[in-house]
């Protein structure tokens, strides 16, 4: 049927001699070079010209999806236009409404205007068009298509797709605010319009137009991001007024190009707690299909009416209807077109609400789940990433849920929330999946509106577990948590004690894993937790095995520099809790005395945290790095300094021992503090150097090993052997999995 209708339309228009209309805003290409007005019609050649751009089979599928004769005829006419050019006259050209266009254009010649990159935008008052008190800076054809032809409404033979009073509208492609004002006028004060626009010049005009319409502007929210399949993508901008676009590829021939961060509709709906979405309009210069991929959950949940522009990409005539149809939502598809040329073809999708897809299960049943505030990461690294990936692998049916932002209860000394927005989660997950695609189906976002039936939950640190406690209690979820140092846990800290007592008193608390002797002793001495509800696993995870060690570069053998490093995250100014100030003071002394000593800093530190101008040529900053960097990095390092202090972040805070022991697995000597004597004889002086948080002690011990290299490299090897014996990450992972599965 489709090809037969196409042949009929090609035959009906092939010998036409319509000139390009000079009195309408019409831009058609010259007559097709494939047309021979004196010969027979070569249908194969004509179809081939279209098939080079888009599959005829896929176009036939779109034809079948269209629900009414008007849309099917228009679809054929538009494709014929694409083949034959100005030989085809669309029905829109015959509309008597064009008289209003001429009137609008004539009036606007005489009104004030503002200049933009592409246009002079004239002021127009729309009272005469039935939009009382609405005014804006715009151009005539825009006023005509938006407010006379009403290009985002469809009404034919009982099929209606339009914005209505009280609707919540997603306006993708806000531009100068024209469609936002149109939608706001219709939805009224009980509705809401979210307009997405990211070009600065366009937004400036948008705001001017909002200021002209004070009764409507409060209905409208401007969101300064482009819509895309995922949130957090940084895309290049090609700025061209209303035709501005974004791309993952830098525009050819451009110099400095501005970038912008994307948002998906699903994430926006989630992060703004929208209880409904009634209408989605997308006119975003070819990014419509990407934006629809980012709206899948919203479409399935709310079945909004859709008005999606197809004309930017001929392939979208097939791809967009096919994608929407694949979602399983019962839509009636229709087509509208609002210019005499190629532009402004709109696909309408009208939902059959009685057959709308259900939101999904209201109850989620799981066996063992991990609940975390930071996982997954955009660039996966660190101990939690290692353990969570390992548990997903080792425990059948295990899932990891990411916390939405959740506030602590009133016993906490802190007030900030834990968790990540749904947008951040989606962005991180899309990146994480490129590293661990096997876990794609096992990582989910915790939905506060869903009831969970979970056999056992596992969480990290005091703070996060305390924030999760109301969730555990509400859903009656048994839980285990690991009490690492940090994370709001403090010795003799009244708030920390109160949070711990509330956690331990929960009827759903099953076990706590402790990692330091000092932690275990403290809980027992305070009578907070019985010993049979405690499991002890010394220290924590490394990112490495000893087998990951690269060939070691030795000072005065393979290299001429004695290299000392500091590897840590900065949580407070000057990194006082990690002893960064002690490292810098030690560096200044040692560098001034020994010309072959260099210092290296990995983490979120730079030359402005503490003045290092006097040693700027001998200290090197690397920022955050992934594990593969550290492998080659530690192969060159001689000493890793970790002079952490207690009570710097908050009352009773302390860091675990041994802090920074990744280096030991890769055969670099660790110099570390232990103010609480958590070592308890596990490492001797031939395996690890314990330092005091004092410059004098740090310098003295470094100087000894600088002058006794044989002892230093023996220390490195011995330390590697011992840390692998005490803290092998594979063995620890199996122990944690065993604890969880035994409960």
Tell me the pLDDT tens digit for each residue of 529-587.
999 999 999 998 888 888 999 999 999 999 999 999 999 999 999 999 999 999 999 99
Q: Rounded to the nearest 10 degrees, how much is the dihedral formed by the CA atoms of 208, 212, 217, 221?
A: -10
How buried is residue 15: exposed, middle or buried, by Cβ count under 10 Å (0-12/13-18/19+)? exposed
* Residues 6 or more apart whose Cβ sits within 8 Å of residue 17: 87
Give the single-character DSSP code of 60.
H
Angle, helices 56-65 vs 43-51, to 10°: value is 80
pLDDT tens-digit map of 25-39:
544 444 455 666 667
> 64 and 310 in contact (C-beta within 8 Å)?
no
Pure H helices in 559-694: 580-593, 627-636, 662-665
As beta bridge partners, residue 120 has 115
* Residues 6 or more apart whose Cβ sits within 8 Å of residue 357: 300, 301, 303, 327, 328, 329
> 81 and 172 in contact (C-beta within 8 Å)?
no
Please state, in angstroms and as integers, the Cα–Cα distance from residue 330 to each residue in 164, 316, 444, 527, following that order: 20, 20, 27, 61
Distance CA 204, CA 206 (A): 5
**pLDDT value for 64:** 92
Long-range CB pairs of 3-7, under 8 A, 24+ apart, other chains included: 3/47, 3/56, 3/60, 5/63, 5/72, 5/76, 6/47, 6/76, 6/79, 6/80, 7/43
What is the phi-psi region of residue 424: left when phi exceeds 0, alpha when psi lies from -120 to 50, beta otherwise?
alpha
How would DSSP label each residue in 361-372?
-SEEEEEEEEEE
CA angle 456, 457, 462 (to 5 degrees): 140
All structural domains of the chain with their residue ranges: 2-89, 96-355, 363-536, 546-727
Angle, helices 56-65 vs 69-84, to 10°: value is 150
Long-range CB pairs of 709-714, under 8 A, 24+ apart, other chains included: 709/554, 709/555, 709/556, 712/638, 712/639, 712/669, 713/552, 713/554, 714/686
Distance CA 197, CA 203 (A): 7
Q: Which among 329, 173, 141, 243 is positioned nearest to 193, based on CA atoms? A: 173
Architecture of the CATH domain 363-536: 3-Layer(aba) Sandwich (3.40)
Distance CA 32, CA 41 (A): 13
How buried is residue 472: exposed, middle or buried, by Cβ count under 10 Å (0-12/13-18/19+)? buried
Residues of the chain where predicted confidence (pLDDT) is lower than 70: 18-38, 241, 245-246, 248-249, 251-256, 353-362
End-to-end CA distance of the chain: 64
The SS3 assignment for 221 reads strand
**pLDDT value for 33:** 53
Pure H helices in 232-277: 265-271
Domain 96-355: give its CATH code. Answer: 3.40.50.150
Distance CA 80, CA 321 (A): 19
Distance CA 156, CA 136 (A): 30
Q: Which among 411, 408, 392 is positioned nearest to 400, based on CA atoms? A: 392
As beta bridge partners, residue 400 has 370, 443
Architecture of the CATH domain 546-727: 3-Layer(aba) Sandwich (3.40)
- Beta strands 597-602 and 509-514 are unpaired
Distance CA 224, CA 237 (A): 13
> 242 and 175 in contact (C-beta within 8 Å)?
yes
From edge to edge, which strands make up the β-sheet containing 259-261? 245-247, 234-238, 259-261
Same fold, 96-355 and 546-727: yes
Six token digits for residue 350: 């009208």
Angle, helices 383-394 vs 729-742, to 10°: value is 60
Distance CA 666, CA 635 (A): 7
How buried is residue 546: exposed, middle or buried, by Cβ count under 10 Å (0-12/13-18/19+)? middle
Six token digits for residue 431: 């990146």
**pLDDT value for 89:** 84
Distance CA 231, CA 208 (A): 28
Distance CA 400, CA 367 (A): 11
Distance CA 385, CA 379 (A): 10
As beta bridge partners, residue 108 has none
């Amino acid at each position: 049927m489709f090809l037969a209708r196409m042949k009929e339309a090609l035959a009906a228009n092939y010998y036409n001699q319509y000139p390009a209309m000079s009195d309408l805003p019409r831009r058609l290409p010259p007559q097709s070079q494939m047309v021979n007005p004196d010969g027979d019609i070569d249908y194969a050649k004509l179809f081939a010209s279209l098939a080079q751009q888009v599959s005829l089979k896929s176009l036939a599928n779109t034809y079948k999806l269209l629900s009414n004769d008007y849309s099917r005829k228009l679809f054929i006419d538009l494709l014929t236009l694409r083949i034959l050019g100005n030989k085809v006259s669309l029905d829109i050209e015959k509309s008597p409404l064009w008289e209003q266009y001429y009137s609008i254009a004539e009036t606007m010649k005489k009104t004030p205007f503002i200049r933009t990159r592409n246009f002079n935008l004239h002021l127009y008052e729309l009272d005469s068009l039935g939009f009382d008190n609405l005014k804006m800076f715009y151009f005539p054809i825009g006023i005509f298509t938006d407010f006379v032809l009403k290009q985002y409404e469809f009404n034919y033979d009982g099929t209606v797709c339009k914005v209505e009073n009280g609707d919540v509208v997603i306006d993708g492609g806000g531009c100068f605010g024209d469609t936002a004002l149109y939608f706001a006028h219709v939805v009224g004060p009980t509705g809401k319009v979210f307009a997405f626009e990211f070009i600065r010049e366009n937004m400036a005009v948008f705001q001017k137009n909002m200021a002209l319409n004070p009764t409507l502007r409060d209905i409208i929210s401007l969101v300064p991001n482009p819509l895309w399949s995922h949130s957090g993508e940084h895309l290049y901008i090609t700025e061209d007024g209303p035709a501005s676009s974004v791309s993952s590829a830098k525009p050819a021939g451009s110099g400095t190009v501005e970038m912008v961060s994307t948002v998906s509709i699903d994430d926006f709906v989630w992060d703004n707690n929208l209880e409904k979405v009634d209408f989605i309009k997308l006119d975003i210069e070819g990014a419509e299909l990407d934006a629809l991929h980012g709206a899948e959950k919203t479409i399935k949940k709310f079945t909004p009416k859709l008005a999606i522009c197809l004309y930017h990409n001929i392939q979208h005539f097939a791809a967009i209807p096919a994608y929407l149809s694949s979602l399983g939502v019962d839509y009636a598809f229709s087509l509208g077109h609002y210019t005499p040329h190629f532009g402004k073809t709109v696909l309408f999708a009208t939902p059959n609400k009685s057959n709308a897809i259900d939101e999904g299960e209201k109850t989620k049943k799981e066996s063992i789940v991990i609940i975390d505030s930071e996982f997954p990461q955009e660039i996966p690294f660190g101990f939690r990433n290692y353990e969570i990936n390992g548990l997903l692998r080792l425990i059948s049916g295990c899932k990891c849920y990411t916390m939405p932002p959740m506030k602590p209860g009133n016993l906490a000394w802190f007030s900030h929330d834990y968790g990540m927005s749904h947008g951040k989660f989606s962005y991180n997950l899309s990146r994480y999946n490129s590293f661990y695609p096997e876990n794609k189906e096992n990582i989910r976002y915790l939905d506060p509106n869903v009831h969970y039936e979970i056999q056992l939950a596992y969480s990290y640190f005091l703070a996060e577990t305390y924030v999760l406690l109301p969730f555990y209690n509400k859903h009656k979820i048994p839980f285990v948590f690991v009490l690492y140092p940090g994370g709001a846990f403090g010795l003799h800290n009244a708030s920390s004690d109160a949070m711990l007592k509330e956690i331990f008193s929960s009827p759903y608390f099953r076990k706590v894993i402790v990692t330091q002797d000092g932690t275990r002793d403290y809980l027992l001495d305070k009578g907070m937790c019985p010993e049979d509800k405690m499991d002890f696993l010394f220290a924590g995870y490394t990112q490495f095995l000893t087998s990951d060690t690269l060939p070691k570069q030795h000072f005065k053998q393979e290299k001429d520099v004695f290299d000392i490093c500091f590897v840590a995250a900065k949580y407070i100014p000057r990194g006082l809790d990690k002893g960064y100030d002690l490292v810098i003071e030690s560096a200044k002394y040692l560098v001034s005395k020994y010309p072959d000593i260099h210092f290296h800093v990995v983490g979120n530190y730079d030359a402005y945290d503490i003045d290092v101008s006097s040693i700027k040529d001998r200290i090197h900053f690397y920022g955050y790095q992934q594990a593969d960097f550290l492998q080659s990095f530690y192969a060159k390092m001689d000493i890793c300094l970790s002079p952490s202090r207690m009570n710097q972040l908050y009352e009773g805070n302390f860091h675990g021992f041994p802090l920074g022991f990744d280096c030991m697995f890769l055969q670099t000597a660790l110099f570390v503090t232990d103010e609480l004597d958590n070592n308890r004889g596990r490492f001797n002086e031939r395996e690890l150097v314990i330092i005091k948080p004092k410059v004098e002690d740090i310098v003295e011990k470094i100087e000894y090993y600088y002058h006794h290299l044989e002892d230093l490299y023996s220390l490195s090897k011995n330390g590697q052997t011992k840390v692998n014996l005490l803290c092998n990450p594979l063995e620890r992972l199996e122990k944690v999995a065993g604890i969880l599965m035994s409960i």
